[in-house]
Structure 1
Amino acid sequence: MHNHELTYDQASGLRRMKQQMVKVIAVTGGKGGVGKTNVTLNLAMAMAQMGKKVLVLDADLGLANCDVMLGLRVERNLSHVLSGEAELDDILVTGPFGIKIVPATSGTQSMTELSPAEHAGLIRAFSELKTAFDVLLVDTAAGISDMVLSFSRASQDVLVVVCDEPSSITDAYALMKILSREHAVQKFKIVANMVRSLREGQELFAKLSRVTDRFLDVTLELVATIPFDENVRKAARKQKAFVDAFPKTPASLAVKTLATRAVQWPVPPSASGHLEFFLEQLVHAQTEARGLA
């Protein structure tokens, strides 16, 4: 059986699964340094505080950020699932407020280097997940790889984290250009991070909008302005999330406001509101990226 047939079989098998309504949000950015993982983890905890069952997938497999940032002990990671040594449920790590994290493979292999058979294994692992959850937050890798594009395209909502630096704006634009022109993603939710004021956040959004309005057929929405906040760094030194260490600090309040909004974003009632649709989209995006579709 060819690899792409194997992948297709995985996809068709997913249609027979018990349907599970899940809100799938990809958190992206251009290059590193915009605070993407920090936004993901704190948003996850803020949603969990609202009673949502949240799963975080650390898709930046080369870095294994999420567990390191929180000082969590990880016995096994996604590589053990892909090799068949463990099921996805077995490797989930519980973080603050009950969030569950899928630990990435901390090592040399990145998600982009997985073989089609391993991708199929990843999809199967998610389709067999027994733990129920309401929200899947995908912390994508920095930069623009096939995997970032696949996860973003398959998600219902794409959050793009930007900060007020020319390289961040350029990277965010490049990502949205590829997703809109080649992967039919038309709507992006912008998070202005580490800004000095609400006005600076709005100006940053305006800068980005001016470029996208001129060259791309996309809709942008400013969904959060997270202020620069010394307590973010202090929390990181304690290996804690800032919403946990400093719940009343300005950055925490901004993320909680974002969480309140995010839980109200509609989950499509059609197939795209289901976990298996997300997985099928992921398979399709991967096979297309490899020129197999």
Structure 2
Amino acid sequence: MAMQPGILDPQMRALDDNVGPSRTQVITVTSGKGGVGKTNVVANTAIALAQTGKRVLVLDADLGLGNVDILLGLTPKYTLEHVLAKTCRLEDIALTGPHGITVLPASTGISQLTILTEAQQLILQDELERLASNMDVLLIDTGAGISSTVTYFAAAAQSIVVVVSPEPTSMTDAYALMKVLLRQYRERRFHVLVNMVKSPRDAARIFRKLELAVSRFLHISLDYLGAIPLDDYVPMAVTQQRAVIDLFPHAPSSRAFRDLTEAVAQLTPPALPKGTVQFLWQQLLRTH
């Protein structure tokens, strides 16, 4: 699938004079470690939401190792690297993905972008104002781990989804990530998605184990968002650079992603911004 630069329709860029857009739902999808299928979750969830009629914008915020575009078979000419260098605008790098989702690709192999400066954060905030305020959902796919850029994007969102897998290291690293977000940004509510799980019972067990640890030592709230089953169709789709929900709509994981959209629709943002970072973003994504 080839890139289509500047794909945003001019009518989408302009606000209606009489009726402003509804507030954009901002969701960060993150993880404590790599290899848990986080980007796959983002891509498939975005398509599932688009299939329900939502206008979906995906920000690949794994700035040094971005791969949402690769997963969906898109070929960017420009990336966030060029936006942050002020050589182009966000609409110049926007790609049209399956079912009309809009993807903002990150760079690959650019270590300097793994930690955003304050000036770069402000550039990105300003650029997103013109695009995200016309969308129903902004999905932010962060890098894995506890770097300052990962925690920054997590704190900017209304809702934080932490993806875990059955691997013990996935749960310990997720715990570490939530601990950092609690201490640095006072985040106290997280939504947990268990990926690549053999059964709903296993997913519930994994969630309870994580919930017990954080409630005992961190005193934060975890919500169970759901589970995506271990499914051979997923790697088959990845090999073809397609989302499983698009290539194999009747696969077990595809059904789970459609169920996930219902849970995502029920996520309620806090009545007030959670902190300074989110306050800045909510000013950009406010209802006009």
TM-score by length of 1: 0.84
**In the aligned structure 1, how far is the partner of 2:204 from the partner of 2:133?**
39
Q: In the alignment, which of 22, 25, 30 is matched to residue 23 of structure 1?
A: 25
Q: Where does 1:1-293 land on structure 2 (aligned, <5 Å)?
A: 21-129=23-131, 132-268=134-270, 277=279, 279=281
Contact 2:31 2:164 survives alignment (8 Å): yes
**In the aligned structure 2, how far is the partner of 1:166 from the partner of 1:210?**
14
Runs of at least 5 residues in structure 1 that lack an aligned partner in the other structure: 1-17, 283-293
Percent identity between the two aligned chains: 45
Contact 2:230 2:253 survives alignment (8 Å): yes
Letter in 2 for 1:38: N
Mean alpha-carbon deviation: is it higher for 167-176 or for 73-82?
73-82
Per-residue CA distance 1:35-88 (angstroms, 9 max, x = gap): 000001100100000000011111101112100111111111112212222111
Letter in 2 for 1:31: K
1:222 Cα deviation (Å)?
1.1
| Paired residues, number | 263
**In the aligned structure 2, how far is the partner of 1:236 from the partner of 1:105?**
19
Say what the alpha-carbon RMSD is for the aligned residues: 2.2
Per-residue CA distance 1:132-155 (angstroms, 9 max, x = gap): 101010001011111111111121
Runs of at least 5 residues in structure 2 that lack an aligned partner in the other structure: 1-19
TM-score by length of 2: 0.85
Mean alpha-carbon deviation: is it higher for 19-28 or for 250-259?
19-28
SS at match of 1:251: helix
- In structure 1, the residue matched to 2:8 is none
**In the aligned structure 1, how far is the partner of 2:235 from the partner of 2:36?**
13
**In the aligned structure 2, how far is the partner of 1:179 from the partner of 1:118?**
21
Letter in 1 for 2:117: S
**In the aligned structure 2, how far is the partner of 1:236 from the partner of 1:21?**
33
**In the aligned structure 1, how far is the partner of 2:39 from the partner of 2:167?**
18
- In structure 2, the residue matched to 1:14 is none
Per-residue CA distance 1:20-43 (angstroms, 9 max, x = gap): 611010101111000000001100
Letter in 2 for 1:157: S
**In the aligned structure 2, how far is the partner of 1:219 from the partner of 1:153?**
15
Letter in 2 for 1:111: L
